[in-house]
């Protein structure tokens, strides 16, 4: 399999997951700002931009409108939802011969909403982004063979999911109001959390569920487990059965660190811990790039966010 094709599939998974994760974070934060009059709008918006790697200028007052412009509509900012959906379609075009027709049509149809203007005019934009991401992922899972192309797509999706759940946890930790309940709902895990924790939502319980809930597919540990499984499969294809590559070792170390630390130690400074986790995901991506995408064009989140070269 050509490295440029493998890299394109890896980044389709990441771009689609990044668009969905950004929509989930913004859904949570805009609900909190609109529903709770005690929430400081400028402080909350600046916090969200910082969590997404686009810090506001010193002294700059950012309102909801400006936050949405930068993180949703600005196609020149590579971490915005519009830019991610455009980039996913471009990656799909480069890997067109490995995609099923139905998967290409779903990605292309999603992309076409942006230049047509219906994307910006959609009053239920966050729900639309989540629905399109679910449709793209579901179509890939139901129409692609479980060989290398699908494995690279799921690998990218899993690493990005771990990264974006860490950002969700970080944004909830710095928000005021009932941020944890809203975050659980945005992740689709509220009902699952209530069943697991006998109906009582606490900050510590919600954070642990989103970080270490091994049976909840959107938790950081579950996403890292899935990424490790895909890496083990890809290593086995190369004849390295039982041998752990650098990327697998890095992701395994992050997962073990989350699973075996005491709750007090882990939750003591969540924003800093989540930033360290995101940097570990960057290091894992760099290792994957060096191992599988040698010779392909290096990619990173430009125009904000954490560049893949950052350590």
Q: What is the pTM of this model?
A: 0.90
Please answer whether residues 44 and 175 qualify as being in contact, where contact means their C-beta atoms are separated by less than 8 angstroms.
Answer: yes
Return the pLDDT at 308.
43
Return the pLDDT at 228.
95
Angle, helices 148-174 vs 220-237, to 10°: value is 160
Q: Find the range with the poorest average confidence among 8-22, 66-80, 238-252, 257-271.
A: 238-252
pLDDT tens, position by position, 191-244: 999 998 877 788 889 999 999 999 999 999 999 999 999 999 998 887 666 656
Q: How many CB atoms lie within 10 A of CB 138?
A: 12
Tokens 């793209």: give the residue.
Answer: 136
Token couple for 171: 């944004």
d(CA 8, CA 289): 11
Token couple for 30: 């805009």
d(CA 210, CA 254): 15
The full set of domain ranges for the chain reads 1-294
Please answer whether residues 83 and 44 qualify as being in contact, where contact means their C-beta atoms are separated by less than 8 angstroms.
Answer: no
Please answer whether residues 247 and 283 qualify as being in contact, where contact means their C-beta atoms are separated by less than 8 angstroms.
Answer: no
Residue 309 has pLDDT above 50, yes or no: no
Q: How many CB atoms lie within 10 A of CB 57?
A: 8
Average model confidence (pLDDT) for the chain? 88
Please answer whether residues 127 and 37 qualify as being in contact, where contact means their C-beta atoms are separated by less than 8 angstroms.
Answer: no
pLDDT band at residue 302, thresholds of 50, 70 and 90? very low
pLDDT tens, position by position, 7-22: 999 999 999 999 999 9
């Amino acid at each position: 399999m050509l490295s440029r094709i493998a890299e394109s599939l890896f980044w389709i998974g990441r771009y689609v997951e990044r668009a969905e994760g950004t929509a989930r974070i913004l859904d949570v934060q805009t609900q909190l700002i609109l529903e709770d009059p005690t929430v400081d709008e400028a402080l909350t918006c600046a916090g969200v931009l910082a969590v997404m790697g686009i810090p506001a200028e010193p002294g700059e007052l950012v309102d909801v409108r400006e936050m949405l412009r930068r993180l949703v509509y600005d196609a020149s900012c590579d971490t915005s939802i519009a830019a991610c959906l455009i980039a996913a379609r471009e990656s799909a075009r480069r890997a067109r011969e490995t995609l099923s027709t139905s998967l290409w049509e779903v990605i292309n149809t999603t992309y076409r909403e942006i230049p047509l203007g219906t994307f910006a005019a959609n009053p239920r934009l966050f729900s639309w982004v989540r629905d399109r991401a679910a449709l793209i992922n579901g179509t890939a899972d139901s129409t692609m063979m479980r060989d290398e192309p699908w494995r690279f797509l799921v690998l990218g999706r899993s690493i990005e999911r771990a990264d974006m759940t860490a950002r969700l946890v970080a944004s909830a930790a710095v928000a005021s109001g009932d941020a944890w309940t809203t975050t659980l709902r945005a992740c689709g895990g509220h009902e699952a959390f209530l069943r697991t924790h006998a109906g009582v939502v606490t900050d510590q319980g919600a954070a642990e569920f989103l970080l270490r809930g091994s049976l909840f597919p959107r938790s950081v540990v579950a996403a890292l487990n899935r990424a490790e499984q895909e890496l083990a499969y890809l290593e086995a294809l190369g004849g390295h059965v039982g041998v752990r590559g650098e990327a697998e070792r890095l992701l395994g170390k992050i997962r073990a660190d989350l699973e075996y630390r005491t709750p007090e130690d882990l939750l003591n400074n969540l924003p800093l811990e989540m930033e360290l986790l995101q940097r570990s995901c960057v290091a894992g991506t760099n290792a994957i790039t060096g191992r599988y995408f040698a010779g392909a064009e290096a990619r990173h989140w430009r125009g904000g966010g954490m560049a893949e070269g950052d350590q």
